[in-house]
Structure 1
Amino acid sequence: MKILLTGANGMVGKNILDVAQKHQHEFLSPSSIELNLLDGIAVQKYLKIHKPDMVIHAAGIVGGIQANIAQPVKFLVDNMQMGLNILTAANNAGVGHFLNLSSSCMYPRGAINPLSEDLILKGELEPTNEGYALAKITSTRLCEYICKENPERLYKTIIPCNLYGRFDKFDPNHSHMIPAVIRKVDEAKKSQQPELDIWGDGEARREFMYAEDLAEFVFYAIDNFSTMPQNLNVGLGTDFTINEYYQAIAGVVGYTGKFKHDLSKPVGMKQKLIDDARLKEFGWSFKTSLDAGIKQTYEFYLSEYCND
């Protein structure tokens, strides 16, 4: 198939293109300059010219708690606009297949874990990333509406857990937890810091999957698209505490200092664990362990971000 991949320059996009080398599909991977998803007319023109068979929508404004709190307008407006533009343009252009990448942050903050796919819009969202979550819910629902109106369309959504891995960002102000902690711990080791802060009590639980595993799943989904559920969680089905992530990263990096907890800082949801029952039924499972994933991510960080 000819597949348009949005967000090709992001972590997920780069991992998908990396894995794509093992497959026979033709990929269109325009930069944001070549295809501005915030410009609805430009998106329509691009699809009319290139006529993809499928769209994988992986573009988005992403970041951790700090970034979401600092720029809620951007996280809501830009993400929602991109989703609406690419979905409506694809539908109008007659694109038959659409794989929408959403996020587990769209599940209610008070929902009982593990989080199943039918919990969308069943409760209040987590305030620290509500704008991003609302944008993701909108795209997810729009996929459902398009399929209701036209049963020939296969517009489906995957809901990954938190991700990390090669091609990640390691900027402490904009990155997610694992890359931010890798950088923080590595710098503490190099400067021989005896102690490091952890936000909150470190007991909040998070599920992080290695991004290359998600990329592998995308190609499994492409091959089995007609039988894939409308909305599908993609993750590990297991989680760890923030403290355990810090300890695992310290072990890989070789940091031997102590950790202290800053209880004045926000921690977000206490737990965010996806229910992987439908994923197992669909016949797919992750392969990269936490230690192996952290090691590969740390190697990438050292090669790309450090000069020594």
Structure 2
Amino acid sequence: MKILLTGANGMVGKNILEVALKHEHEFLSPSSAELNLLDGNAVNQYINTHKPDMVIHAAGIVGGIQANMAHPVKFLVNNMLMGINILTASNDCDVPKFLNLSSSCMYPRDALNPLSEDLILKGELEPTNEGYALAKVTSTRLCEYIRKENASRLYKTIVPCNLYGRFDKFDPNHSHMIPAVIRKIDEAKKNNLEEIDIWGDGEARREFMYAEDLAEFIFYAIDNFEKMPQNLNVGLGTDYTINEYYQAVANVVGYSGKFIHDLSKPIGMKQKLIDDEKLKEFGWAYKTELEVGIQKTYEFYLREYSND
């Protein structure tokens, strides 16, 4: 197939393109300069010209708690516009298949874990990333609406858990937790710091999957797209505390200092664990265990970002 991939320069996009080398599909992977997803006319023109058989929408403005809290307008407006523009253009130009990448942050903040796919819009969102979550809910629902109006349109959504891996961002202002912790602990080791602070009590639980596993899943989904559920969680089905992630990174980096907790800082949702029952029924499971993934991510960080 000819597949248009948005967000090709992001962590997920780069992992998809790397795994794509093992497959026969042709990928269109325009940069944001070549295809501005915020410009609806440009998106329509691009899809009309290239006529892809499928679109994988992996583009987005992403970041951790700090970035979401500092820039809620950008996280809501840009992500929502990108989703609406690419989905409506694909539908208008008769693209038969669309794989939308959403996020587990669109599940209600007080929902019982594990979080099942039917919980969308069943409760209040987590305030620290509400703008991003609203945008993800919108594109997820739009896929459903397009399919409801036209059954021949296979427009479906996957809901990955938190991700980390090679090609991640390690900038402390924009990174997610695991890359941020890798950088923080590596710098603490180099500077011989005896202690590191953790936001909150460290007991909040998170589920992080190695991004290459998600890329592998996407090709499994492409091959089995007709039988894939409308909305599907993709993750491990198991989680760890923030404290356990810090310790796992410290083990890999070789840091032996101690951790102190800053109880004045926000922690986000207490737990965010996806329900993987439908994923198991779909016949797929992740491969990369936590410390193996952290080791590979740390090696990437040392190659790409370290001053050594």
The Cα offsets for residues 175-196 of structure 1, whole Å up to 9 and x where unpaired, read as: 0000000000000000000000
The Cα offsets for residues 246-291 of structure 1, whole Å up to 9 and x where unpaired, read as: 0000000000000000000000000000000000000000000000
Tell me the CA shift for residue 307 of structure 1.
2.9
**Are 1:306 and 2:306 an aligned pair?**
yes
What amino acid sits opposite 1:107 in the alignment? Y
Q: For residue 3 of structure 1, what is the aligned residue in structure 2? A: 3
Q: For residue 54 of structure 2, what is the aligned residue in structure 1? A: 54
Q: How does 1:205-224 map to 2 (within 5 A)?
A: 205-224=205-224
- Secondary structure at the residue paired with 2:4? strand
Tell me the CA shift for residue 306 of structure 1.
1.1
Q: For residue 244 of structure 2, what is the aligned residue in structure 1? A: 244
Q: For residue 138 of structure 2, what is the aligned residue in structure 1? A: 138
What amino acid sits opposite 1:161 in the alignment? C
Task: Provide the TM-score with structure 2 as the length reference.
Answer: 1.00
Q: For residue 178 of structure 2, what is the aligned residue in structure 1? A: 178
Q: Which runs of 5+ in 2 are unaligned?
A: none
Tell me the CA shift for residue 115 of structure 1.
0.1
What amino acid sits opposite 1:150 in the alignment? N
- Secondary structure at the residue paired with 1:306? coil
Q: Which runs of 5+ in 1 are unaligned?
A: none
- Secondary structure at the residue paired with 1:227? coil
Tell me the CA shift for residue 206 of structure 1.
0.1
> Matches of 1:30 and 1:219 in 2, distance apart?
19
Tell me the CA shift for residue 215 of structure 1.
0.1
> Matches of 1:307 and 1:279 in 2, distance apart?
41
Tell me the CA shift for residue 85 of structure 1.
0.1
The Cα offsets for residues 104-134 of structure 1, whole Å up to 9 and x where unpaired, read as: 0000000000000000000000000000000
- Secondary structure at the residue paired with 1:114? coil
The Cα offsets for residues 152-207 of structure 1, whole Å up to 9 and x where unpaired, read as: 00000000000000000000110000000000000000000000000000000000
> Matches of 1:28 and 1:190 in 2, distance apart?
41
> Matches of 1:62 and 1:47 in 2, distance apart?
24
- Taking only aligned residues, the RMSD between alpha carbons, in angstroms, comes to 0.3
- Secondary structure at the residue paired with 2:186? helix
> Matches of 1:182 and 1:125 in 2, distance apart?
28
Q: For residue 148 of structure 1, what is the aligned residue in structure 2? A: 148
Q: For residue 129 of structure 1, what is the aligned residue in structure 2? A: 129
The Cα offsets for residues 221-269 of structure 1, whole Å up to 9 and x where unpaired, read as: 0000000000000000000000000000000000000000000000000
> Matches of 1:248 and 1:173 in 2, distance apart?
22
> Matches of 2:120 and 2:306 in 1, distance apart?
41
The Cα offsets for residues 65-102 of structure 1, whole Å up to 9 and x where unpaired, read as: 00000000000000000000000000000000000000
Task: Provide the TM-score with structure 1 as the length reference.
Answer: 1.00
Seq. identity, %: 82
> Matches of 1:115 and 1:245 in 2, distance apart?
21
> Matches of 1:205 and 1:29 in 2, distance apart?
35
Q: For residue 15 of structure 1, what is the aligned residue in structure 2? A: 15
**Are 1:231 and 2:231 an aligned pair?**
yes
What amino acid sits opposite 1:80 in the alignment? M
Q: How does 1:1-308 map to 2 (within 5 A)?
A: 1-308=1-308
> Matches of 1:174 and 1:201 in 2, distance apart?
22
> Matches of 1:240 and 1:47 in 2, distance apart?
41
Total equivalences in the alignment: 308
